[in-house]
Amino acid sequence: MITANQAANGGLFIWMARALKEAVWPSKCLVCRSFFQPTVYENYNFPVKIFNDESMLAYNKKSAFHKLMRPFLCSACSTDFVPVESPFCCICGIMFKSRIGDDHVCGECIKSPKKFRMARTMGVYEGALMKTIQCLKYKGKIQLARPLGMLLFFTFIKYWNNKNRIDLIVPVPLHIKRFRKRGFNQAYLLIREWFSYADAFNVELSYSKIEKNALIMNKQTESQTGLDRKQRQANIKNAFSLGNSSKITGESILLIDDVYTTGATADECAKVLIKGGAKSVDVLTLARGM
Residue-wise pLDDT tens digits, 20-36: 454 446 689 999 999 98
Query: CA–CA separation, 89 vs 107, rounded Å?
Result: 9
Q: How confident is the model at residue 54 (pLDDT cuts 50, 70, 90)?
A: very low
Task: Please list the residues that pair with 210 across neighbouring strands.
Answer: 169
Strand partners, 138: none
> Rounded to an integer, what distance in angstroms lies between the CA atom of residue 284 and that of residue 290?
16
Looking at residue 168, its pLDDT comes to: 97
4: confidence class by pLDDT, cuts 50, 70, 90: very low
Q: What is the pLDDT of residue 15?
A: 43
Query: Whole-number mean pLDDT of the chain?
Result: 85
Cis previous bond, 47, omega within 30:
no
Residue type, 276: G
Query: Starting from the edge strand earliest in sequence, which strands make up the sheet with 118-124, in order?
Result: 118-124, 280-288, 252-260, 168-171, 209-210
Q: Is 119 helix (H, G, I), strand (E, B) or coil?
A: strand
Domain ranges of the chain: 84-288
Share of residues in the chain with pLDDT > 90 (%): 62
SS3 call for 181: helix
Closest by Cα among 26, 38, 253, 261 to 147: 38
Pair 281, 270: CB distance under 8 Å: yes
pTM of the model: 0.86
The beta strand positions in 7-117, using DSSP E, are none
Q: Determine the average pLDDT of the residues in 217-234.
A: 75
CA distance 255 to 212: 10
Q: Is the pLDDT of residue 243 over 80?
A: yes
How far apart, in whole angstroms, are the C-alpha atoms of residue 152 and residue 284?
8
Give the CATH fold of the 84-288 domain.
Rossmann fold (3.40.50)
pLDDT tens for 102-111 read 999 999 999 9
